[in-house]
A = this chain, B = another copy of it.
């Protein structure tokens, strides 16, 4: 930390907003106190602020979060820092900056697969502006780490993944500085510094011993001894710490949101929302160069390849590795890009811990998941997202969108791009008819009432493919002389509670939700929660069991979310 903050890194302690500052990610977030101490020495925070550590009224939390302007992404879930750093380093290329990205990891966390996803992507992208440092102290929380102090075993793995690996004694300051220097001079591949250390170095009763993870020294004799031993090793401070070299503040054109023309869809066209998503991000990317896209080898299914074709320099391929896709998107977002990572919605579950940390970080990532629900058909349950709405809604600050047609998809892609904070869009595999005119407007937190009359007996609420089942049910019921209201609930979070309550009041207090999703946490729960306290009846149609392979139409009917089931629900109440 001393070598990085007072020898190696170029940054202006008075100007966290300088885009060309070198970046530091404390992947081993539990070491937060050393980060805050470095800042205190650098004059970023007052020294006595450190005494507020972990207090409710302090931003110096137990693990660093972006409440602090020098923190790009929250850490504390191990193995994520290197993934974020990939995105931060990719961003340097995007804005043509020379900044370098440093990541401090523990050796224990290199057991996380996400570290190796990031290692592979960084090597493939030749991210030589990245420097990883592994604090190889050989101690995990509960036991020695897997590879302990076998430095060769560490080096072999990193080299095998295409990194320049250096092994040093982490307590030898000149060796650390030299390694950082070598890393800076290494071109064409990232460097990792494997620093052999002893935990509790210099304190006789701690050094190299287990049982001290997250444990404070006892006040009294134990603390006295520890401080005494450390102080005896201090070289008297004759000179002040060197000041870091600050990069000049470069002026760059102020980014401005795109204002897209209406999309060229015609009512009744048949377009899958996943395809409209691909077209929308490509259009947006042409108008705003902060917009970037990331893929995990399904770009021809999510249609993010439309973006790649138009903007290959802002398209990042992580291959089949969803954790680094989301982690890199977090890093890109933290540095000013507007990243759209996408894959099958089912496979976003692979990155849920990253999504959780993106929510904690409140970064501007714009996720999209395709192939929602049983309507994908024959590929079977492993490819069907049936829990993605629950997973995303569980994070209170993620905007959750679920458009049904191409026009709403296009307009909501634009809205989500400029929505502050994380957002998610669910898209569908089957083609669906365009139901909105090109000038229709959509808001995050809105809904559309598609059918209504003065004599509606119930409100049917759908989104995605079930909206069309609702429209079919409406027509069938109308033929029987029953009127129902039909709502397109394209925004699940935030949700337009007032309009839903009004619909319920207008339709005998009867709401029927229908969704291509498991029952818990999806449209039904979102609606029930929004209208709670009014005594309305919310009837939920959802996929109530683990589904199987079949044709889309068969499955939609078999699992009880087709027009036929909606009709029965309306009649049966």
Contacts and interface: CB of A to CB of B under 8 A. Distances in A.
Interface of A: 29, 54-56, 58, 61-63, 65, 67, 74-79, 108-109, 111-117, 120, 124, 140-143, 145-146, 156-157, 159-161, 214, 295, 297-301, 305, 317-324, 346-347, 349-350, 352-353, 355-357, 359-360, 362, 378-383, 386-387, 390-391, 393-397, 493, 518-521, 524-526, 528-529, 532-533, 535-540, 544-546, 548-551, 554-555, 558
B113 A113 contact: yes
A146 to B, nearest CB: 5
Contacts of A554: 56
Contacts of A493: 520
A21 to B, nearest CB: 24
The 5 closest A-B pairs by CB, nearest first: A113-B113, A76-B382, A56-B550, A160-B160, A390-B394
Nearest to A551: B56
Most B Cβ at <10 Å: residue of A75, A321, A538: A321
Contact of A537 (B113, B526, B535, B546): B535
Contact of A546 (B347, B396, B549): B396
A320 B56 CA distance: 29
Nearest to A544: B396
Contacts of A324: 113
Given A319-B146, A393-B520, A528-B528, A75 B382 contact: yes
A520 B396 contact: yes
A451 B487 CA distance: 42
Contact of A520 (B58, B115, B295, B525): B525
A84 to B, nearest CB: 13
B380 A550 contact: no
Contacts of A395: 387, 518
B537 A62 contact: no
A56 B318 contact: no
A391 B347 CA distance: 14
A529 B537 contact: no
Nearest to A161: B157
A548 B297 CA distance: 36
Given A143-B299, A143-B317, A396-B545, 6 more contacts: A54-B380, A56-B551, A113-B321, A124-B146, A157-B161, A214-B379
14 contacts: A54-B549, A56-B551, A61-B381, A61-B548, A65-B380, A77-B346, A140-B320, A145-B319, A352-B352, A357-B382, A394-B520, A394-B521, A528-B528, A532-B537
